[in-house]
A = this chain, B = another copy of it.
């Protein structure tokens, strides 16, 4: 079937790009490596992504966006109290990071930083990802009874602190930053009750 085939190869390329850029960043990831990892050829890559590496990076960032948004949503669905859900998120991020040999950090951050001021489409996609994640957090905080502006600001800090803690955990190969971040975020949220 053609349609299934199309989806298959395209998806494999996007997924491979996302994982490689998550681990190595944008610049260090080559198109030949992507095509090998995706079990596709260079011709297929340019067939599906005529915009080349840039377009591929945008799709990879969007893939990481959806991935982490689902991770967040799942945590909030699993645990009733939003503060407790965030603690669970931090813990899960820590164990996931450790289990990957400290290699799989945020699938967006490295590419985002490399693109700032140099590749606007990629930067935009990263910005949308962060905004998307904040929206998930803000909605759950509001549902739990917090005021709109409080929830809005907390969503910023929840995402940013998790982001910073994950980066720190990765660089120092330690789960501590994420554990501490979870505890502090829960305390901060609790202070608004």
Give residues in A with beta carbon < 8 Å to B.
23-28, 101-103, 105, 109-110, 112-114, 116-118, 123, 126-127, 130-131, 153-154, 156-157, 159-165, 167-168, 170-172, 176-177, 180-181, 183-184, 187-188, 191
| Interchain CB contact under 8 A, A171 and B126 | yes
Q: How many copies does the complex hold?
A: 2
**In the bound complex, do residue B103 and residue A172 qualify as a contact, i.e. CB atoms below 8 Å apart?**
no
Q: Are A127 and B161 also in contact (CB < 8 A) when A27-B27, A105-B113, A114-B28 are?
A: no
| Minimum Cβ distance to chain B for residue A118 (Å) | 7
Q: Cβ of A116 and Cβ of B170 under 8 Å apart?
A: yes
Contacts of A168 in B (CB 8 A): 130, 156, 159-160, 163
